[in-house]
Amino acid sequence: MVAAAAALVEKSARLSKKQWDGAAGALERAQALRIESFGLIEEDTQAYLAFVDAVRSQQDIAAAHARTVDVPLRMIQAAAEVAELAVQLAQHGNPNLRADAVVGATLAAAAAESGLLLIEVNLGDAAGDARFAVATKLTRKAAGLVLSLRPRDS
């Protein structure tokens, strides 16, 4: 979902260079986030499989378990950054592509929320974990960014 959101941001940035001086930088960063996000899909799968193997073998369980939290946290970090880029493009970019930027922000916020759920489940007792606190803060930030794009009268 983060990769799809980043792709929409890329589209908006690519076609916003006349309207916003920051579009080229946003395009470059969105491309990097899209590529990173695709990699995280595989990393997430590998982290889970490594955890299952660790539990079965009773070796390196703590390290394998940590990866099942760290990878979704990286997804949330990428999602929050995509949401931020999307808001910038919605505000400053090509007005004909504002909807693409808004959808990108919405998808990014949903991806962050999904990642937060994974972290919460993988931690079990997430309340005191610093990674959960960071993930929660970033997820709230992404959700707030989406809300900032909504018309005031809705």
pLDDT band at 152 (very low <50, low <70, confident <90, very high): low
User: How confident is the model at residue 6, as a pLDDT?
Assistant: 98
Q: Residue count of the chain, please give it.
A: 154
Tell me the C-alpha distance between 41 and 79, whole Å.
13
> What pTM value is reported for the model?
0.93
Residue that is written with structure tokens 């950054």 in the block: 81
| pLDDT given for residue 128 in this prediction | 83
- What is the C-alpha separation between 12 and 36, in angstroms, rounded? 19
Q: Which of 126, 100, 102 is nearest to 115 (CA)?
A: 126
**Least confident window among 42-56, 61-75, 118-132:** 118-132
Q: What is the mean pLDDT of the segment spanning 80-103?
A: 97
Q: What are phi and psi of 18, to 5 degrees?
A: -75, -30
DSSP helix/strand/coil, 138: helix
Closest CA to 96 of 7, 3, 4, 18: 18
Domains and CATH numbers, the chain: 2-148 (1.20.120.680)
d(C-alpha 111, C-alpha 97), whole Å: 21
Taking alpha carbons only, the member of 20, 30, 22, 16 closest to residue 104 is 30
Q: What is the mean pLDDT of the chain?
A: 95
Which token pair is 27? Answer: 């395009």
